Each structure stands twice: as structure tokens, then as C-alpha cells.
């Protein structure tokens, strides 16, 4: 069983996804939380703290996996565990930008280079392959993803490519999911 949980900031999508995976999880099946956020400042720490408190006592083992989901798929293959991956918006950002953030000189070099959309296709294909591996290697998989598509703003090229890539990934995730839920003001609305 694979489920996509989708929603905006502060929509309550995490709480719903946690409830859903704990309901699906049968005793004896390991339950993993794949945390994808890279910590840069106190605000990130605060957010992570809030999420940890929300998960406390629900039986999750947390694995930090900001990118390269394929690696974790290999490790988890034998166990056939249940997995909650949160959040795809971080994975896409980390795959596209994380080396840039950790080393600003690389970022400067990158943005000064003339780039095609190919790199983003590369990221799209990489994540797609890795998700398929992850799906095949586990029992139940719930992926949380973010709605970043409706503020109507035009951003710089890099951000627009990020939005496009995440959008493409979300479409792919919805296609291969058994259920898709959109969470609005904490209320889950099933859209597939």
C-alpha cells in the first residue's frame, strides 16, 4: 500500500500521515520515519522539535535521509518495514541545491553557469527511480508532499525549476499511489 499525503504549510498533513501509517502498521512490522530536513538554523531546529514531539510514543524509528532515498531502500529491503517519508519538498530541494548550500562557492559557480533544464530532469529521474526502489522494498509507504504551487508568484529561474520538478514528482507519486489525500485545515480530503 502506498499513500500520498499532500497539503500546504500548516495544513496538518504530517499529523494525518502519522495517524494513517500507525493505523496501517501491524505489530512486528518495523516502523520508520524518514526525516529529510537539513538543519540550517534555530527555526529549523524548532520545527524538528515540534515534529518529534508530535511523533513521540508512536513507535517510530527515525532515520535521517535528506537525499539519496535509493540507499535507504537497499538497507530496508530485508525488513519489509512500514515507512513514512516526510517531506518530498525537502528531498527535491536537497537533491537540487544541498551541495550548493553547504558550499556557497559552488552555488555561485553554478548560478553563473549557463544551464539547461537537463539537470532537473536528472533530479526528477533519480528521485523517480529511488521512489520505485523504496516502494518495492517496503510494506506500507506513505509520502508527504507539499503544495507550493498556488501563491501565483513568479520566482527566479532556479526556484521555478524547483517548483516544476516537485510538481512533476507529485504527479508521478499520485500515479503510483493507491490513495491520495489532500489535507485542508487539518481535514483530510481523499482525491484518489
Partner 1 sequence: MILVIGGYAQGKLEYVKEKYQTGGDDIFDFEVEDIAELERYSDGLFSDRQIILNNINSLIKKELDDGKDPEELLGNILSKFNNVIIITDEVGNGIVPIDKNERIYREKTGRFQCMLAQNADEVIRVTCGVGQRIK
The H or E element spanning position 26 is none
Residue with cell 553547504: 102
* Whole-angstrom distance, CA of residue 120 vs CA of residue 99: 15
Q: Give the residue, chosen from 5, 11, 20, 69, that forms a contact with partner 1 under the rule CB under 8 A.
A: 11
Outline where DSSP puts E strands in the chain: 2-7, 31-35, 61-64, 82-86, 141-146, 179-184, 187-190
3-class DSSP state for residue 38?
coil
Question: Does the protein bind partner 1 through residue 189 (CB under 8 A)?
Answer: yes
Q: Is 25 within 8 Å of 140 (Cβ atoms)?
A: yes
**Segment near partner 1 (CB under 8 A); pick from 24-32, 63-71, 127-135, 179-187:** 179-187
Q: Which is nearer to partner 1, 62 or 159 (CB)?
A: 159
Residue of 38, 98, 139, 159 that binds partner 1 (CB under 8 A): 159
> Which residue of 2, 3, 5, 7 would you call a contact of partner 1, by CB under 8 A?
7
Q: How far is the CB of 3 from partner 1 (least distance, A)?
A: 18
Could you say which residues in the range 96-155 bind partner 1, by CB under 8 A?
Answer: 147-153, 155
Task: Based on the shown chain and the rule CB under 8 A, indicate whether residue 156 belongs to the binding site for partner 1.
Answer: no
Residues 6+ apart with CB under 8 A from 77: 137
List 23, 26, 27, 43, residue binding partner 1 (CB under 8 A): 43
Q: Cβ closer to partner 1: 42 or 56?
A: 42
Q: Are 15 and 25 in contact (CB under 8 A)?
A: no
CA distance 181 to 179: 7
Q: Return the residue of 10, 28, 57, 104 that touches partner 1, per CB under 8 A.
A: 10
Q: Does 38 bind partner 1 (CB under 8 A)?
A: no
- Asked whether position 165 contacts partner 1 by CB under 8 A, the answer is no
* All cell numbers assigned to 140: 506500507
Site residues, partner 1 (CB under 8 A)? 7-12, 43, 147-153, 155, 159, 163, 184-187, 189
Amino acid at each position: 500500500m502506498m499513500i500520498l499525503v499532500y497539503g500546504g504549510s500548516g495544513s496538518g498533513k504530517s499529523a494525518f500521515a502519522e495517524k494513517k501509517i500507525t493505523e496501517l502498521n501491524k505489530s512486528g512490522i518495523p516502523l520508520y520515519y524518514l526525516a529529510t530536513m537539513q538543519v540550517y538554523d534555530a527555526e529549523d531546529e524548532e520545527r524538528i522539535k515540534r515534529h518529534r514531539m508530535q511523533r513521540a510514543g508512536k513507535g517510530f524509528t527515525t532515520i535521517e535521509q535528506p537525499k539519496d532515498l535509493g540507499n535507504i531502500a537497499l538497507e530496508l529491503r530485508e525488513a519489509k518495514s512500514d515507512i513514512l517519508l516526510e517531506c518530498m519538498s525537502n528531498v527535491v530541494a536537497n537533491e537540487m541545491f544541498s551541495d550548493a548550500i553547504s558550499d556557497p562557492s559552488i552555488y555561485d559557480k553554478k548560478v553563473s553557469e549557463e544551464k539547461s533544464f537537463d539537470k532537473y530532469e536528472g533530479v526528477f529521474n533519480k528521485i523517480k527511480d529511488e521512489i520505485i526502489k523504496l516502494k518495492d522494498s517496503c510494506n506500507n509507504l506513505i509520502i508527504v508532499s507539499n503544495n507550493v504551487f498556488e501563491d501565483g508568484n513568479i520566482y527566479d529561474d532556479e526556484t521555478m525549476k524547483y517548483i516544476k520538478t516537485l510538481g512533476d514528482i507529485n504527479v508521478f507519486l499520485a500515479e503510483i499511489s493507491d490513495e491520495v489525500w489532500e489535507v485542508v485545515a487539518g481535514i483530510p480530503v481523499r482525491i484518489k
